[in-house]
Amino acid sequence: MPRLLDNSVNIGEVLHEWTIAEYENHQRNLFWYIFMLVTGLLLVGYALFSGNFLFALIIILFAIIMFLQSQQHAPRMPFRICELGVIINNRFYSYRELKDFYVVYNPPEIKTLFLETNSSLRPQLRIPLMDVDPNEVRFTLREFLPEDVEKEEEPISDMIARRWLIH
């Protein structure tokens, strides 16, 4: 479980640091909004027709959240790789809480560091690499965590979210 960062938490020396967005801001065109509106209405219609009111509520809430999120800019937060763990904003994850890592680097679309946690509630942390050299990050993290070299692609859920501009 990550700890809130305060003066009592020993993080060691900061080895890498950059700023990331909490989520990606997408430039969506009119076609995207029309397509999503029609899809949402069809799903809500199906849910009401089949008597699944909870599904209809989930679709409506999802649409509201997506609309509100598109109306604001993603907050920026610092990410740091330290000697004793990683820090995302004000949360400290020690290396004991992390299982392994892998980097998916296929610019310009995908430049991401994935950290696998030991927690089943939060199994993966997704960190955009921005303009940071992925080889330096990989070299540094290998000192503390094993690298999962078999994973060369982003998870399917991330790929779908990126292509549908939902992420």
**Which percentage of the chain shows pLDDT scores above 90?**
51
Residue 58: HSE in the Cβ half-sphere, 13 Å Cα cutoff: 7
- Parse the chain into domains and list their residue ranges: 3-23+74-163, 30-70
By CB neighbour count within 10 A (0-12 exposed, 13-18 middle, 19+ buried), where does 121 fall?
Answer: exposed
CA distance 99 to 151: 14
> What would the two tokens of residue 68 be?
């509100």
* Beta carbons within 8 Å of 162's beta carbon, 6+ residues apart: 24, 109, 110, 154
Task: Give helix 53-70 / helix 30-50 axis angle, nearest 10°.
Answer: 160
pLDDT of residue 144: 93
CA distance 52 to 76: 38
Local confidence band at 11 (pLDDT 50, 70, 90 cut-offs):
confident
pLDDT of residue 121: 80
Q: Right CATH number for 3-23+74-163 from 3.40.50, 2.30.29, 2.60.40, 3.30.1360?
A: 2.30.29
pLDDT of residue 154: 87
Residues 55-75 have pLDDT tens digits of: 999 999 999 988 888 888 888
Query: In the predicted model, is pLDDT for residue 78 greater than 80?
Result: yes
